Amino acid sequence: MIKVEWLYWLIGLVFVVMAVQMAADRSNPKRWTSAAFWGLLGLTFPYGTGVANATAKNGDWTLPAEPLGVAVLALIVLAGFNFLGKGVPVTTTGEQREASAARLGNKIFVPALTIPLVAIVCASVLDESGLFETGKATLLGLGLGCVVALVVGMLVTGEKKLSVPVHSGRSMLEAMGSALLLPQLLAVLGSIFAVAGVGDQVGDIMNKVLPDDSKYLAVIAYCVGMFLFTVIMGNAFAAFPVMTAAIGWPVLIQQMHGNEPAVLAIGMLAGFAGTLCTPMAANFNIVPATLLELKDQYGPIKAQLPTGIALLGCCTVIMALFAF
Amino acid sequence: MIVLLGVVVVILGFVTRRNPVLVVGVAGIVTGLLGRMDPLEVLAAFGRSFADSRSVTVYAIVLPVIGLLERYGLREQARNLIGRLGRLSAGRFLTVYLLVRQVTAAFGLNSIGGPAQTVRPLVAPMAEAAAERSTGAKLPERWREKVRSYSASADTVGVFFGEDCFIAIGSILLITGFVNSTYHQDIEPTQLALWAIPLAVCAFVIHGARLLLMDRQLEREMAVAAAEHDLPLPEGADK
């Protein structure tokens, strides 16, 4: 059975190899601290296996979480105080790319399409086969798709040296910089908020503010609350238990007899509308901006903001009209 | 009440545009300590949740493949291909992508697209090429940014408002898991997925319309720019 941890080890290895390359790259003015950052990030992946085992308590080898916490703080310091630099990427010129595009034609799409194709096959056909760890078929399909696509890509382009894709990937990493770390850090923040009881406090405030008998006000409070809390937390999953415990369940379902699946499903989607509008949802909003090399890191959010607000309106109206 | 200061730290940090990594790190430490966790517990919480959230960084594995293909002209060929596909504007192309992304996500195939896998190497260059083709001019920098931003938005809106129509997706399982265990209910995932369909339709109509509106706005601005360019200079303007 292929385990998801193996994929994490592969990613860790890729980061460590890239870090070694960075340490040797004299064109990067901050090469030592950059190498330290990416190398340390790479090491957190295999170490994380031991920490995850400890929380799951499945009898595997375990490691304490505190040293990983120290490593995370070190990553925050390296990224937060601008210790990350970029080397000069060794790559092809515009003319060379045009020429190679003309030579390869549409064959160059084959490796790019291999990634989703393998992911589809893994998620649909092979999911039931027991080949993959339960529930991880899509994630593993993505990883497997990339490995296959790399082989296909080297065959199609005729590239012999494995250092070329590693170098190209490293240039993209250096361009993204600390944005790559942000999604994982936001997940950390979300769980600390949960442990420290931020959610309960918001629920208390909501209960005090809301009048007892107005169905429409309660619907608006639930949907807008899901939206706003998701904007703050960057994650509708973190907002859902809080707002549902505060309003969704006691007021909309128990008191007003709303249709349970309708209230809950639409409430979650009001949170998704909030995800479209916030820099806290970094992997959906900030990471694309860096990947697309935009000058304005809020570009994607600006493109999504009107849609997000309109969808919040749709959620509120649909819930008010059809859930009762 | 005092733990809400952590939320305030986050908001202030983003409003004053501090380094986001630093903002999130400080907010985490502040919230943990205000929530009466001792420093070692805060460290352990950082480590544990960092380990548990490794899956969000998995997309980094895509970068070497895409980097290799870009070196060999992937983006250029994506542009060439769109150039040959008749009268396809950027907005129409992105609307089609939005629909494809929603439908595939609704069937549970939500990792076949994404900013690293599809938007940077294929969707954004194709949308740019389509925009240049339909207006017949090179895109100004501001519009290039805008077309790229809209490409990312088509992907995100598509996956968010498609995936909930699928029953084995995280958010649906989170709802059933939370409600069924907290309130002792037995809600079926299919009932929830059904209620996601009307909003999937709303999302397609709203965002699709905005993508098509972007086309018209682009055409209008480019026409104005072209007209200004062709205008005869007033007498003595070169002095």
* pTM of model > 0.90: no
Instruction: Spell A237-256 as b/e; 16+ CB within 10 A means b.
Output: bbbbbbbbbbbbbbbbbeeb
Q: A59 in the Ramachandran plot: left (φ > 0), alpha (ψ -120 to 50) or beta?
A: left
Q: How far is A135 from chain B (nearest CA, A)?
A: 9
Q: How far is A56 from chain B (nearest CA, A)?
A: 10
Per-residue pLDDT band at A177 (split at 50, 70, 90): confident
Q: What six digits make up the tokens of A97?
A: 């790319």
pLDDT for A219 equals 93
Q: How many CB pairs under 8 A join A and B?
A: 428
Residues with Cβ < 8 Å from B137, sequence gap 6 or more? B222, B225, B226
pLDDT for A42 equals 96
Of B75, B155, B70, B160, nearest in space to B115 by CA: B155
pLDDT for B104 equals 81
| More confident: A49 or A175 | A49
CB contact under 8 A, B164 and A268: yes
Q: How many beta carbons lie within 10 A of that of residue B46, not counting itself?
A: 28
| More confident: A190 or A22 | A22
Per-residue pLDDT band at B239 (split at 50, 70, 90): very low
| Inter-residue contact A15 to A41 (CB < 8 Å) | yes
Percent of chain A past pLDDT 90, that is, above it, reads 44
Asked whether residue A124 carries a pLDDT value surpassing 90, the answer given is no
| Inter-residue contact A84 to A30 (CB < 8 Å) | yes
| Inter-residue contact A68 to B51 (CB < 8 Å) | yes
Residue type, B177: G
pLDDT for A207 equals 73
Per-residue pLDDT band at A179 (split at 50, 70, 90): confident
> Within an 8 Å CB–CB cutoff, is residue A195 touching chain B?
yes
Which member of B47, B50, B69 has the closest CB to residue A108?
A: B69
Distance CA B208, CA B200 (A): 12
pLDDT for A94 equals 84
Distance CA A117, CA B111 (A): 11
Distance CA B57, CA A306 (A): 28
Residues with Cβ < 8 Å from A187, sequence gap 6 or more? A235, B49, B50, B52, B53, B56
Asked whether residue B203 carries a pLDDT value surpassing 50, the answer given is yes
The per-residue pLDDT for range B1-43, each reduced to its tens digit, is: 788 888 888 888 877 878 888 988 999 999 999 988 899 999 9
Which member of B50, B51, B178 has the closest CB to residue A240?
A: B178
pLDDT for A242 equals 79
pLDDT for A45 equals 96
Direct distance between the N- and C-terminal alpha carbons of chain A, in angstroms, rounded to an integer = 47
pLDDT for B19 equals 85
pLDDT average, residue stretch B171-178: 77
Of A174, A122, A175, nearest in space to A147 by CA: A122
pLDDT average, residue stretch B196-203: 94
pLDDT for A193 equals 81
List A residues 247-276 in contact with B (Cβ-Cβ < 8 A): 249, 260-262, 264-266, 268-269, 272, 275-276
pLDDT for B224 equals 86
Query: Angle, nearest 10°, between helix axes B5-15 and A215-233?
Result: 70
List A residues 37-56 in contact with B (Cβ-Cβ < 8 A): 44-45, 47-49, 51-52, 55
Question: In A81-179, which residue ranges form alpha helices assigned H by DSSP?
Answer: 94-104, 109-124, 137-157, 163-176
pLDDT average, residue stretch A76-86: 91
CA-based torsion, B82, B85, B90, B96: positive or negative: negative
Q: What six digits make up the tokens of B217?
A: 């706005």
Per-residue pLDDT band at A182 (split at 50, 70, 90): confident
Q: How far is B221 from chain A (nearest CA, A)?
A: 18
